[in-house]
Amino acid sequence: QKEVEQNSGPLSVPEGAIASLNCTYSDRVSQSFFWYRQYSGKSPELIMSIYSNGDKEDGRFTAQLNKASQYVSLLIRDSQPSDSATYLCAFGNQFYFGTGTSLTVIP
C-alpha cells in the first residue's frame, strides 16, 4: 500500500512569514510529485508539480524534492491571508494523496 504522510496541522503563521509544509511518501520509484491547494468547500487546484531533485520556484511558492529521503516540501514566502487553505501533496500519477495540512495565515 503506497502512502503519503503530511505534517500534522493545523499550521498557523503570521502574515508575511514563511509557511513550511512537508510530505513523505512510500514509493521509491515515483517520478512525479504535486502540491494542491483546497479552500474550504472548494475542490483542489494544482499549485506546483516537481519531477527532479532540488528546488523549483514559482512566485512565492518553492517546492523542494529529495528522492533519496522520499521527501517533498512546499515553502510559501510572504504568506498572505488568502493562502489560508488545506494543502495536499500527491505522488505517482496523482493516484496517492496525503490527508492535507490546514494552513491559517493570521493578519
Binding site for another protein (CB under 8 A): 4, 32, 34, 36, 42-46, 49, 88, 90, 93-100
Q: Is the separation of the CB atoms in 2 and 27 below 8 Å?
A: yes
Alpha-carbon distance 15 to 52, whole Å?
Answer: 30
We find the least distance from the C-beta atom of residue 15 to another protein, in angstroms, to be: 28
Query: Cβ closer to another protein: 73 or 98?
Result: 98
CA 41 – CA 71 distance, rounded (Å) = 28
Residue 61 or 96: the one with the smaller Cβ distance to another protein is 96
Least distance in angstroms from the C-beta of 93 to another protein: 4
Smallest distance from another protein to CB 6, Å? 9
The least CB distance from residue 72 to another protein, in Å, is: 15
Helix (H, G, I), strand (E, B) or coil at 70: coil
Q: 52 burial class (0-12, 13-18, 19+ CB within 10 angstroms)?
A: exposed
Output 79 or 98, the one with its CB closest to another protein: 98
Phi, psi at 18, each rounded to 5°: -95, 130
Pick the closer one to another protein by CB: 14 or 94: 94
